[in-house]
Amino acid sequence: MKIPLCIPNISEEEISAVAEVLKSGWLAHGPKNEKFEEGFAKYVGVDHAISVNSCTSALQLAIQASSLKGEIIVPSFTFVASANSIVTAGCKPVFAEIDFETRNIDPEDIRKRLTKKTVGIMPVHYGGQSCRMDEIMEIAEKHDLVVIEDSAESIGAEYSNKKTGSFGIGCFSFFPTKNMTTGEGGMLTTNDDKIAQTVRTYKGHGIATSTWMRDKKDEPWLRDCVLPGYNYRLCDVLAAVGLEQLKKLDRMNDLRRKHSEYLTKGLDFENLQTPVEMKKAKHVYQMYTVTVDRKKVDRIKFISSLREMGVGASVHFDPPVHLCTYYRKANGCKEGDFPVTENLSKSIVTLPMFPGLTKEQLDHLVSSVGEAINNSRLR
């Protein structure tokens, strides 16, 4: 039996929605985009949602629209896009430690990284679980810092009954491995009217109105550039997919939670730690990650053994960002700078997780992990 790491949940509804857009002739940033943004804003519980071509673009635009210049604190245990967006927006990433169990940035370590140059915090909600946002927002308010939530992996996740992306400026990804997908794409969420308008302007070549908006006016050909912007727009074809995905997002997340609960009960093996869900958090398991005891289990053999049994196991993330070639040089980072992060990056394993997993696949996954643990013991 083969179990891939992830399979997007695409059905006839998405296919029909795409066909509708193709037949309409309006393929770019049009009516589906508008409806998708409205629906997403309502779902997250914010005033504005702006569709873009990726979460990376959303992160960069969030920084630029906030006019930040200085240091932004971000965990090193994340996909490199988080730090890259800080650099491309003209700021400097300052890496922080994480909590080993939740994989998320440690608020206590954020406090240690604060300097007079700090202008923002970028918490990354890892694998479907929110960071400790009450503590992070308290730090931000005390020091007048902008909070930009990297919510790429946490669509639908909650902390204290609030959706991620509603605490600060939210940035989401719709890559095929995420809780909902448009293939490629992203969304920025905010309650700030000025930020929203600036982002909309930046994403469309610095023109304050979209083609769809201008088409309703008397002189739709007028295009006044007010900022040196980009082409970070999401096309209507992908927005149509997003609209259908949004309708079933909660149902898909419920299945992820159900599958994860089943796995956590079944994966009760020595030298293996299953995910931890915080009391205030609602985990939506964009990834299901376990850790192995590095002193007793060879992780490479463990993953190789799983793959031989048809289980598409992987690692997210190794190396951590501070040990990537560019950031070793640019930030002067070296091994040993972030021991918790480095330990986790060498211990963590990502197991298959998607809504369509069957009981047969889940049982095969459990038995395969048990066998792989035995096959990879250090003697």
Segment 339-358, tens digit of pLDDT? 999 999 999 999 999 999 99
pLDDT digits (tens, 9 = 90+) for 127-167: 999 999 999 999 999 999 999 999 999 999 999 999 999 99
* φ/ψ of residue 36, rounded to 5: -60, -45
| The pLDDT of residue 215 is above 60 | no
Strands (E), the chain: 48-52, 71-75, 92-96, 118-121, 146-150, 158-159, 162-163, 169-173, 186-190, 272-273, 281-282, 288-292, 348-351
| The pLDDT of residue 216 is above 60 | no
Q: Return the pLDDT at 91.
A: 98
Q: What percent of the chain has pLDDT over 70?
A: 97
Q: Return the pLDDT at 208.
A: 81
pLDDT digits (tens, 9 = 90+) for 299-336: 999 999 999 999 999 999 999 999 999 999 999 999 99
Please state which architecture CATH assigns to domain 12-247: 3-Layer(aba) Sandwich (3.40)
Domain 249-375 has CATH 3.90.1150.10: yes
Q: How confident is the model at residue 213 (pLDDT cuts 50, 70, 90)?
A: low
Residue 234 DSSP one-character state: P
List, by residue range, all CATH 3.90.1150.10 domains of the chain.
249-375
Q: Return the pLDDT at 99.
A: 98
pLDDT digits (tens, 9 = 90+) for 15-73: 999 999 999 988 987 899 999 999 999 999 999 999 999 999 999 999 999 999 999 99
Helix (H, G, I), strand (E, B) or coil at 132: coil
β-strand partners of 148: 169
Distance in angstroms (rounded) separating the CA atoms of residues 90 and 120:
13
Distance in angstroms (rounded) separating the CA atoms of residues 230 and 233:
9
| The pLDDT of residue 210 is above 90 | no
What integer best gives the mean pLDDT of the chain?
Answer: 96
Q: What percent of the chain has pLDDT over 90?
A: 93
**What is the mean predicted confidence (pLDDT) over 65-94?**
98
Q: How confident is the model at residue 95 (pLDDT cuts 50, 70, 90)?
A: very high
**What is the mean predicted confidence (pLDDT) over 86-106?**
98
Helix (H, G, I), strand (E, B) or coil at 117: coil
Question: The whole model's pTM is what?
Answer: 0.96
Residue length of the chain:
379
List, by residue range, all CATH 3.40.640.10 domains of the chain.
12-247
Give 41-98 as a DSSP string: HHHHT-SEEEEES-HHHHHHHHHHHTT--SEEEEESSS-THHHHHHHHTT-EEEEE-B
More confident residue, 209 or 343: 343
Residues in Cβ contact with 254 at an 8 Å cutoff, skipping those fewer than 6 apart: none
* φ/ψ of residue 210, rounded to 5: -85, 170
